[in-house]
Amino acid sequence: MPRLLVALSSHGYGHAAQTAPVVNALRARRADVALTLATRLPYDFLAARFAGPFRYLPMDTDVGMVMGSAIDVKVRESLAAYRSFHRDWSGRVDEAAAAVERDRADAVLANVPYAMLEGAARAGVPAVAMCSLNWADVFAHYAKRAGAGDQAEVRTIHAEIRTAYRAAEAFLRLTPGMPMPDLPRARTIGPVARLGRCDPAGLRARLGLEANVPVVMIAPGGIELRLPVEGWPRASAHYVVPASWGVHRPGFTAFESLGLPFVDVLASSDGVVGKPGYGTFAEAACNGVPIVYVRRGDWPEEPALIGWMAKNARSAEIGRDALRHGAFGDEMERLRSLPAPRPPAPTGVDEAVRALLRLLDIR
């Protein structure tokens, strides 16, 4: 029985959202693949995304970024977290290598923890990375912004991250994704997204709505962004929001109360409100759902995501004040009135599955 160890960044839900369609497709083709998920993401979230049994290994093998909200990076705190993580870099890699060996993994997939890639190399186990970003370039971007790019310690950390990514047999760079000129083994593949069951009538029936009432999903991503919806004006749309917001007013329903998969609700909605994150953008585009979004402003992956959405989906930017005050209804209606482009196909799923089959040396 081949065993695959999948390491996931715990920075929001996007890394797991990118990976689950690929791993599920792999196991649909080869049901004998045993799975371990190495991450500190919540078990219940993983169980809802990954089909079939898996071993849960709560550990971090990267840093990500320290977030003040779903759209704001705490730069100083992030750099401090990297310094702490890399203080004993060899020890970190030893921990990752020991985890690979204890798991008896035949291959490693990382989205996109770099210490696990270096650990797999140290353990003699083949590994690939897959993501729309890499932490080497994200770290370098924010270090430069903080005026720390030329510090010797920062240069050392950046070199350690970059070397770890180069230890992978390949880096599957998802479309859309940031350019990765420093990773010679980067190979661009198509989008990765789930396709949902589009049933607008069924969704409205669950919500008790008339056929002419638009349903708009608020999808802030895995990092909390609680909006002050109690002060929003009455709208013609009905909003689906996270249950954790605790909203109790007409016109709002908690997503979890619907008893439907996230992607089915998204595919059946008339629009989505979110931020430029790979999972929300790719799933909105591939399911043909219009989206309004608020820029993060300085997230280095953002230009690639926004540029791709402009060509492949009905999308529009709104300001932070418009989001905070719920003043985006007219823009959403404008998008809904536009001709819908042909949704891009999530071809990256099959491309990544083929790469993993080669890595596991099975067909």
Instruction: Identify whether residues 149 and 278 lie together within a single domain.
Output: no
Q: Omega into 176 within 30° of 0, i.e. cis?
A: yes
Residue 276, domain member (yes or no): yes
Both 242 and 105 in one domain: the answer is: no
Task: Read off the amino acid at residue 43.
Answer: Y
Verify that 93 and 64 share a domain, yes or no.
yes
Q: What is the dihedral of CA 166, 167, 173, 174, to 10 degrees?
A: -150
| Mean pLDDT of successive 10-residue stretches along the chain, which has 363 residues | 96 92 97 97 95 97 92 94 98 98 98 98 98 98 91 96 98 98 97 97 97 94 79 93 94 96 97 94 97 93 97 97 95 97 98 96 60
Based on the domain organization, do 213 and 184 belong to the same domain?
no
Number of residues written out for the chain: 363
* CATH number of residue 170's parent domain: 3.40.50.2000
Of 129, 155, 1, 107, nearest to 61 by C-alpha is 129
Do residues 318 and 330 make contact, with C-beta atoms less than 8 angstroms apart?
A: no
Query: Does any domain span residue 138?
Result: yes
In what order do the strands lie in the sheet containing 34-38?
A: 55-57, 34-38, 3-8, 107-111, 127-131, 170-173, 186-188
Three-state secondary-structure class, residue 7:
strand
**pLDDT value at residue 222:** 60
pLDDT of amino acid 195: 97
Within 8 A by CB and 6+ apart from 258, the residues are 203, 206, 207, 240, 265
Q: How many domains does the chain have?
A: 2
Pairing of strands 186-188, 170-173: parallel
Q: Per the structure block, which two tokens stand in for 10?
A: 């715990």
- The answer on 269 and 320 residing in a single domain is yes
Distance CA 209, CA 89 (A): 56
Contact 362, 31 (CB under 8 A): no
Q: For residues 105 and 124, is the Cβ–Cβ distance under 8 A? A: no
User: Are 326 and 353 contained in the same domain?
Assistant: no
Report if residue 172 sits inside a domain. yes
Whether 342 is covered by a domain: the verdict is no
- Is 145 within the bounds of a domain? yes
**The tokens of 63 are what?**
């840093």
> Which two structure tokens, joined as six digits, stand for 23?
């791993």
Do residue 22 and residue 120 come from a single domain? yes
Judge if 283 and 150 occupy the same domain.
Answer: no
Hey, what are 316's tokens? 């529009």
Element (H, E) at 38: strand 34-38
Q: Of the candidates 324, 329, 315, which has an alpha carbon nearest to the alpha carbon of residue 284?
A: 315
What per-residue confidence (pLDDT) applies to 363?
40
Distant-in-sequence, close-in-space partners of 15: CB < 8 Å, separation ≥ 6:
8, 9, 111, 112, 131
Measured at the CA of 22, the angle between CA 21 and CA 26, to 5 degrees, comes to: 115
H or E stretch at 217? strand 215-219
251 lies in some domain: yes
- Model's pTM, two decimal places? 0.94
| One domain for residues 168 and 210 | no
- The whole-angstrom separation of Cα 7 and Cα 58 is 10
DSSP 291: E
Please give the pLDDT value at position 179: 96
Look over the chain and give the mean of its residue pLDDT values, rounded to a whole number: 95
| 263 and 124 housed in the same domain | no
CA distances from 3 to 48, 212, 321, 347 (A): 21, 50, 48, 24
The alpha-carbon radius of gyration of the chain (Å, integer) is 21
Same domain assignment for residues 207 and 328: yes
Quote the domain boundaries for residue 168: 3-192+347-360
The answer to whether position 315 is within a domain reads yes
Q: Side chain identity at 184, as an amino acid letter?
A: P
The verdict on 82 and 124 lying in the same domain is yes
Asked if residues 67 and 137 have their Cβ atoms less than 8 Å apart, the reply is no
